[in-house]
Structure 1
Amino acid sequence: MDNFTHIKSVAIIGAGPAGLAAVKYLIAENCFDRVVAFEQRDEVGGVWNFTGNVSQQQQSDLTIPRTKPAQSVERPVSVQKPSGRITHLFPSPIYDALETNIPHTLMNFTDKPFPADCPLFPPFGTVKQYLEEYADDIRTHLRLGSQIEQVRAGTCDGAHKTKWNLSYTDLVSGRRCEESFDAVICASGHYSDPYIPNFPGISDFDAAHPGVITHSKFYRNPRPYSDKKVVIVGNSASGVDISRQISTFTARVIVSEKEKPTTLHSDSNSITYRPEIAEFVAENRNVRFVNGTTETGVDHIIFCTGYQYSFPFLLGLDQPVASTGQRASHVYQHIFYHLQPTLAFLTLPQRIVPFPVAEAQAAYIARVFSGRLGLPAFEDMEAWEQGVLQAKGSKGFHNLGYPEDVDYINALHDVSMGAKACETRGAGKTPPFWDEEKRWTRQRFPMIKQAALKLGEKRCEVRCLRDLGFDFEDWKRGEYLKQKDSP
């Protein structure tokens, strides 16, 4: 495929972690006339912006079940600050006591460590401050308070080169604006459009008991669940954390998990584990499980079932990117929309460590858009997608759990570093490469998190892996002695 030396302007949708990384890798190419990141929030950080209970104002719009991606962009909640200024908030899934489930030694960007004195699993406020500092040197490239409404592909002067026309609203003035760019990077994330599966009886249950069923996006703290019977659906990161928090306020927490028991089961006596839900019964607010057990008189049901892939602003594409919500379609290496590859995506994969993955992807995109790397032929990119579909199916298409995520980061590093440096523009920014120690830590971080949780509130005092009994050098010495002593 031809390279993209004609690209001189790039728009980035979103100024969360991925969007910020994209700006840095693009400007490091010393190639583009215009790099702009459009962010609908007033501040950088994306979902790491805590919005408190403002999210509850949008629960009335939550459709139950919810199995299709949104068809229109999310509307903000207007809030008046004490100063009298009106701010526009987009509800974030961040809850009051959220902390990372990834050690910051893995989570950080390549060129910026977290503060040495912060907890190994930092609270969301620390992450937000970290991102603010990371953005300090690229502020002139950010367009905050600008919500993208539409992105449409057009042609540029009959040259058969795609030009992307962006329509957006300046949320401060209310003015509708339009701009054109040679390429677009979608860094809007996939943690805004809740997914609630369609279990038998769920619609009738919700109609009979409005407000009982909700999604983790709208959870903020455990106090409203005091002495209530609460069913948590899903036991991944948010399910584990929310059930643990609520169990300190009520002795009746039931966790429904579809897959085999997770290593992050809580030892709380207040939590009971059940298999997948078989049916909702409106009478007596009953929930029946596939093993035949039934919970009666359920007060609250929180779905911790994740989010859908949703890009309602992408219009007029050759083929839709997100028709089912399960995955992004027509993407090569989880990045390039191969039907019109001047459109790219960041952090579509799941079960990953997002910040370094965003860097690795951004490096690849920057090299391609600057013309220093080419892409395979269309047929080869399409074949790659079909191969992943056959191997993983649609629902698992973007799942890159360990060790796939490590191999993915390193493969993108190798591809990007294989780009020929330009004598006048340099070699760009170096993406992450995960060495043996990073791989060792990544493999163990569920166990590391479990060890931290067992410390209760004292986990906030943990500053390094050694505090939890995990030491790479000790492990390496042990492996050496094993090999030495083996026959």
Structure 2
Amino acid sequence: MTARVSRRVAVIGGGSGGVIATRFLKRAGHRPTLFEAGDDFGGVWADKPMNDVVYKNLNTNLPTVVMQSPDLDFEPGLPSYINKPQLGAYIKRYAHAFGVAPFSKFKAPVTRVSRASGDAGKSRKWEVTWRCDGSEATETFDAVLVANGHYQEPYMPPIPGQAEWLAADSGRSLVHSRDYDDPDEFRQASVLVVGGRSSGVDISRELRGVAKWVYVLEKKCAAPLTHEGEAVTHVPLGTRLSTDGRLRYGEGEGQLVIGPPVDRVVLATGYVYSFPFLDEEDLGMTFSGRRAVTPLYLHLMHAVHPTLGFVGIQLAVPCPIPFFECQALYLAEAWARPDGEHLESAEDRFAWVEQRLAAVSASGREQDLHYTSSFASSAWAYMRELARAVHAARSPTSGGESWLERPDWEARLATVEEVYNDRGARYPKLPWHEDAYRRCEYSVDWASGSWQVDTSKAGLCEAKPSR
């Protein structure tokens, strides 16, 4: 049997990714130190987050039995779709349930991560610098795991006609969804929401009935469509703002979109990656101002410097906590092996990165690099791939602390996938469809793999006719 190695690992971030990573690193025999800039666990879901991007009325769009670890249920009595304080409390409870707190430093923002100098500059160690009580401290670690999330820097693509539209009227405004909080701030305004993923759909639905009119611009729309009896219009990519506030689409001067002039714009367009403590040039990486991070093998580890790892890079993750647990399990096992005996060869890492980059280049969409549904296997297959690689190195045991270390781990993951697919079938497809899916209540018996959904409070999830 290959001898196992215990490494000192710096974990950056005390949200769900960092907490989970610390648990699994500790479990694998490593010596982690978690650095959190705030004063508690939770990341953006904390009571007093350092990066406050969660709007006031947000409820999760995934049920608790999909989000949670199969090792730790949410508190009894909670609805399936919960709010920010309830999710923040779960992350904190997870940290304490699995002994993460003694390995954590709070109010300790990391300011710099660099390769430690060594013989011919080839040292495998890392120097990590953080602020503490008004001064800086630096320590050397064997590995670094980055889990600071990706909600720091908003991605703000220009809308055709945006500059002229803003200049024509000082009363107009454009904000990113990270600065959106309360629909009442948009009362009786005509609002253009740009983006059709989770935040865009939620915000447009909140504004419906509060704003004078809501336009939703996103790629799934082929032509303008106004819902019967509602002041909500779906508009396609390429729709442009005019100086008079009206929306136009099509060639030349374009056709007018039915509805009043736009006076507010909300960009629900996501974020670019931000790791201000990493030196791109020194590490041979690209990420600043980008919607992709390279070169990462399996979205997890630097292809050249494999002791630099990342948890939570991917987008559109279907079951965040189990997903992060699979990633953390893989990194913890990879780093427990002696240098040169990784779970994968350097050639495999480089080949995977090149193949992925080639696929993204062909699509012309940089952001596809880390979308779980783009090009490669599904998120579920990816999770199984990571867990199986670990199990090939060491067999799962009946007494393992983690569900991923027990023989029935695949059955448990299959249960999560089934519930997620049921939720997906109920998810509204257009901004004016009813939000009834959040009134469905799920329950799971993890031992048997059986689950139930109570739809008695949901009513009908049908759309009204459109014109």
Report TM bin, short chain.
0.7 to 0.9
Q: Give the whole-Å Cα distance in 2 for the aligned partners of 1:210 and 1:311.
A: 35
Q: How many residues are aligned here?
A: 420
Does the aligned pair in 2 maintain the 1:234–1:305 contact within 8 Å? Answer: yes
Q: Does 1:398 align with 2:370?
A: yes
Q: Does 1:299 align with 2:263?
A: yes
* SS of corresponding position for 1:255: strand
Q: Give the whole-Å Cα distance in 2 for the aligned partners of 1:326 and 1:441.
A: 30
The gaps in structure 1 that reach 5 residues or longer are: 52-88, 471-487
Q: In the alignment, what sits opposite 1:439?
A: 417
Q: Give the whole-Å Cα distance in 1 for the aligned partners of 2:65 and 2:228.
A: 27
Q: In the alignment, what sits opposite 1:164?
A: 126
Q: In the alignment, what sits opposite 2:105?
A: 143
Q: In the alignment, what sits opposite 1:327?
A: 292
Q: Give the whole-Å Cα distance in 2 for the aligned partners of 1:123 and 1:335.
A: 29
Q: In the alignment, what sits opposite 1:478?
A: none
Cα RMSD after superposing both structures: 3.2
Q: In the alignment, what sits opposite 2:460?
A: none
Q: Does 1:98 align with 2:58?
A: yes
Does the aligned pair in 2 maintain the 1:16–1:46 contact within 8 Å? Answer: yes
Q: In the alignment, what sits opposite 1:128?
A: 88
Does the aligned pair in 1 maintain the 2:162–2:241 contact within 8 Å? Answer: yes
Q: TM-score of the superposition, structure 2-length normalised?
A: 0.81
Q: 1:333 to 1:194 in 2, by over 3 A?
A: same
Q: Give the whole-Å Cα distance in 2 for the aligned partners of 1:348 and 1:210.
A: 38
Does the aligned pair in 1 maintain the 2:21–2:325 contact within 8 Å? Answer: yes
Offset of 1:154 from its aligned partner?
A: 1.9
Q: Give the whole-Å Cα distance in 2 for the aligned partners of 1:456 and 1:334.
A: 33
Q: Give the whole-Å Cα distance in 2 for the aligned partners of 1:318 and 1:225.
A: 44
**Equivalences for residues 189-338 of structure 1 within 5 A:** 189-206=149-166, 209=170, 212-260=173-221, 269-281=230-242, 283-290=243-250, 292-294=255-257, 297-315=261-279, 317-323=282-288, 325-338=290-303
Q: Give the whole-Å Cα distance in 2 for the aligned partners of 1:427 and 1:175.
A: 41
Equivalent position to 1:362, from 328, 336, 348: 328
Name the amino acid aligned to 1:239. G
Equivalent position to 1:41, from 15, 38, 41: 38
Offset of 1:36 from its aligned partner?
A: 0.7
Does the aligned pair in 2 maintain the 1:50–1:95 contact within 8 Å? Answer: no
Q: In the alignment, what sits opposite 2:387?
A: 413
* SS of corresponding position for 1:416: helix
Q: Give the whole-Å Cα distance in 2 for the aligned partners of 1:234 and 1:458.
A: 21
Q: Give the whole-Å Cα distance in 2 for the aligned partners of 1:318 and 1:109.
A: 33
Q: TM-score of the superposition, structure 1-length normalised?
A: 0.78
Q: Give the whole-Å Cα distance in 1 for the aligned partners of 2:5 and 2:20.
A: 22
Does the aligned pair in 1 maintain the 2:177–2:267 contact within 8 Å? Answer: yes
Q: Give the whole-Å Cα distance in 2 for the aligned partners of 1:167 and 1:379.
A: 32
Q: 1:267 to 1:106 in 2, by over 3 A?
A: farther
Q: 1:19 to 1:4 in 2, by over 3 A?
A: farther
Equivalent position to 2:453, from 455, 466, 469: 466
